[in-house]
Amino acid sequence: MNPISFPHLRLFAENLTCRRGGRLIFEGVSLSLASGEAVSLTGRNGAGKSSLIAMLCGRLRPEAGRIGVEGADEAELTELCHLVGHRDGLKTALTAQENLGFAQAVLGQPAATPVEALAAVGLAHAATLPVGYLSAGQRRRVALARLLVAARPFWLLDEPMSALDTASQAMLTGLMRDHLAQGGAILAATHGPLGLNEARELRIGP
Amino acid sequence: MASLIDLANPTRFMRLSAVLLPWLAAAAAVLLVVGFYLAWFSAPPDYQQGETVRILYVHVPAAWLAMMFYSMMALSALGTLVWRHPLADVAQKAAAPIGACFALICLVTGALWGKPMWGTYWVWDARLTSMLVLLLIYLGIIALWRVLDEPSRAGRAVAILTLIGFVNVPIIKFSVDWWNTLHQPASVFRMGGSTLDPSMLWPLLILAAGFTLFALALHMVSMRAEIMRRRVRTLTILEAERLDRLAAQGAPA
Amino acid sequence: MRRAFLAILRRDLTLAARAGGGGELALVFFLTLVVLVPFALGPDLNLLSRIGPAILWLGALLSVLIGLDRLFQADEEDGSLELMRASPLPLEAAVLAKGLAHWLTTGLPLALATPLLGLLVALPVEGVLPLVATLAVGTPALSFIGAAGAAVAASLRRGGLIVPVLVAPLTIPVLIFGVSAANAALGGTVPFRTPFLILAGLSLASVTVGTLAAAAALRSAE
């Protein structure tokens, strides 16, 4: 694995308002996420954590407010963000390795090979198994391995710790530390602790 | 029934079928060779249809096997739903492609026979049409097996579909006959009429027996493959979980 | 870019080969439709052979449309559409790759199967090749017009028949020129070339418009 070093970038959002289906989800949310920083996004269920993440990666247009990147072209925002959401983005009929190979080809900026990435999440033995054979926790780890096959500075993680056992949670914490050390940044919506001491907390909603 | 219960255990079935299979295959081969020899060299050509009548020796056994395999599937479906026999859905899954193949052979030979008889490969004759509908039902069942990937859940769904199909087959047959006579008052041509000369009947019976044994041997091979496929699947999943636990213990955070 | 395009194409072809569904079901459905027609019309081969191209075209059209609702829905449900949205590859190219894979696994096999199904409706020998040609040239239009409908329905929880209902009216021109080209080959006043070239033009236009529309629909899904 070649060592990766990201340039200094800052993702910022100012006074975001989110309205879905006519209902106001949140308003006045601001955020700054620079290289090497981690933010844990907390809030009640339905406070809009997933919506905020969808806005940051360009999937959802904010009703008001501004999202931008310092140090890069704004249009590239979607190509700077890595999203691992509730849905694993895996095809059950394909093997873990094929799934990651597909993600690598589609996302571009190749970093680790699929096999290396699977080894990093402790699933080297499952590389050639169809994902349909894997348990929910194992699938989640395959989805997280996607973070390693393409080098993107901003990791946007939606409940990354769910479905993971303690050992895998520690593994993920390790991956996040490495990413921060490489100059990456992490925003993670979470209920529990991320295990990162340096993480700031951003609480949205009441 | 006792033998069925003995066979219920897949391991015992594997052992028994391994012993039985060579004998079954050998018997099928002998009967087929003798039957084809008789059909080819000893049976006379028909005074009306000439040499083409020999297609009958493949066509009729194929038709009979296509129907027999569907009945076997219906029986297996009952086994799945009523007796929860662990091998029933394996038997059912293995039977479907074989039955479909014989239905297809029956249709293709029927079409090849039809060309010199009718001047066209296909006529919507009642028997051929019913066989075509049977093929469609087979294809539907095979497609359902392919779409559902959890074997135990797929088994019940397919069993229900198979039984519905089985109840329907006589109704379809009756309807098609009625539809056909409505449009064609006089049946132009009947395949394998009831009055066959013994010189033709014997090769036909021998070949029918040979094809049946051959199909049963295929079915057994197919069942063995399916049992092994499921074992491989289960073992793979277990192994992945075991290695996962090992990896978790080996590298505690 | 090319790598991403080929990856989507290859993945969809692999999925079609491995998981079943889609293409092979369309073939069986096609056969079923063709078998149903004589039960309604009667087994008169003269009649069937006269309307054979129409039966086969209708059958192929319905078989393509019925399965289309899963084209993007499956990717939306498991989240892999998110990956394509995050790709540097324009969404239009992703749609093109998926539509191409859909045609290769559905439309092309249907066109190639028509000589066999032609036997069932006593299609005259000289009509077989032109019919295969019209289907091979016309089915891309169905895949891509359909893709636009499928993209609209991608995020709907209860898609089902909505895609055929949306798309069927839009396929009428393709049906008209496809059937008339196939019929022209069996004799008549119009030469085969005229409707066939119009069909090819419709197909090219549909591929372009369908791709752009589907990508736009996927982008504005939320």
- Parse chain C into domains and list their residue ranges: 2-219
Model pLDDT for residues B201-228, shown as the tens digit of each residue: 888 889 999 999 999 999 999 999 999 9
Q: What is the pLDDT of residue A137?
A: 87
CA contacts within 13 A on the Cβ side of C79: 17
A81-84 and A154-158 as β-strands: parallel, antiparallel, unpaired? parallel
Q: Is residue A72 in a domain? A: yes
Q: Give pTM, 2 decimals.
A: 0.87
B63 Cβ contact partners less than 8 Å away, ≥ 6 residues apart: B102, B106, B127, B131
Q: Give percent of chain C with pLDDT exceeding 70.
A: 97
Contact flag B233-A133 (C-beta cutoff 8 Å) = yes
Contacts of A97 in chain C (CB under 8 A): none
Q: Is residue A128 part of a domain?
A: yes
Q: How many domains does chain A have?
A: 1
- Whether residue B12 lies inside any domain: the answer is no
Cβ distance A87 to C82 less than 8 Å, yes or no, reads yes
**pLDDT above 90: percentage of residues in chain C:** 53
Give, in order, the Cα–Cα distances in Å from A174 to each of A81, A194, C26.
20, 10, 48
Residue contact B243–A171, C-beta within 8 A:
no
Distance from CA of B129 to the nearest CA of C (A): 9
Q: Is A136 on the interface with C (CB under 8 A)?
A: no
> Is B236 domain-assigned?
no
Q: Which of C20, C38, C39 is closest, CB to CB, to B143?
A: C20
Structural domain includes residue A85: yes
Residue B252 has pLDDT above 50, yes or no: no
Lowest mean pLDDT among A37-51, B185-199, C47-61, C111-125: B185-199
What span, in angstroms and rounded, lies between the C-alpha atoms of C187 and C196?
14
CATH number assigned to the domain comprising residue A110: 3.40.50.300
What range does the domain containing B88 cover? 30-183+198-228
Give the count of alpha carbons within 13 A of B182, CB side only. Answer: 12
Within 13 A of B213's CA, how many CA atoms are on the CB side? 20
Interface test mutation site (partner C, options B130, B139, B145, max chain C beta carbons within 10 A): B139
pLDDT classification of B2: cutoffs 50, 70, 90: very low
Count: domains in chain B? 1
Contact call for A85 and C79, based on CB within 8 A:
yes
Residues B140 and C28: their CA atoms lie apart, in Å, by 8
Residue numbers of chain A with a pLDDT score lower than 50: 1
CA within 13 Å, CB half, A76: 14
Give the residue from chain B lying closest to A132, CA to CA: B149
Q: What is the pLDDT of residues A145-191, one digit of tens each?
A: 999 999 888 999 988 888 888 888 888 999 999 998 888 899 998 88
pLDDT of amino acid A79 = 84
Tens-place pLDDT, residues C89-105? 999 999 999 999 999 99
Q: C52 vs A57, A172, C105, C189, CA distance in Å?
A: 53, 62, 24, 19
Winning range, highest mean pLDDT, from B138-147, B217-226, C42-51: B217-226
Task: Indicate whether B107 belongs to any domain.
Answer: yes
Residue A156 inside a domain? The answer is yes
Which residues, other chains included, contact A39 with Cβ-Cβ below 8 Å and sequence gap of 6+?
A: A31, A33, A186, A187, A188, A199, A200, A201, A202
Quick check: B145 pLDDT over 50?
Answer: yes
Q: Would you say B57 and B194 are in contact if contact means Cβ atoms under 8 Å apart?
A: no
User: Given an 8 Å threshold on Cβ–Cβ distance, is C20 in contact with B147?
Assistant: yes
Cβ distance A95 to B217 under 8 Å? no
Amino acid C86 reads: A
Partner-chain contact C7 A85, CB within 8 Å? no
- Determine whether B177 is exposed, middle or buried from the number of CB atoms within 10 Å of its CB (0-12, 13-18, 19+): middle
**Cβ within 8 Å, pair B122-C35:** no
pLDDT of residue B186: 40
On chain C, the residues whose CB falls within 8 A of the CB of A89 are 78-80, 82-83
Q: Is the pLDDT reported for residue B233 higher than 60?
A: yes
- Tens of pLDDT along C169-217? 999 999 999 999 999 888 777 888 899 999 999 999 999 999 999 999 8
B247 close to A (CB below 8 A): yes
Q: Is A60 on the interface with C (CB under 8 A)?
A: yes
Test mutation, A78, A91, A104, chain C, max C CBs within 10 A: A91
A106·C14 Cβ contact <8 A: no
Model ipTM? 0.86
**Of residues C20, C32, C38, nearest to B124 (C-beta):** C38
pLDDT attached to residue A147? 92
Cβ-defined contact of A89 to C77 (cutoff 8 Å): no
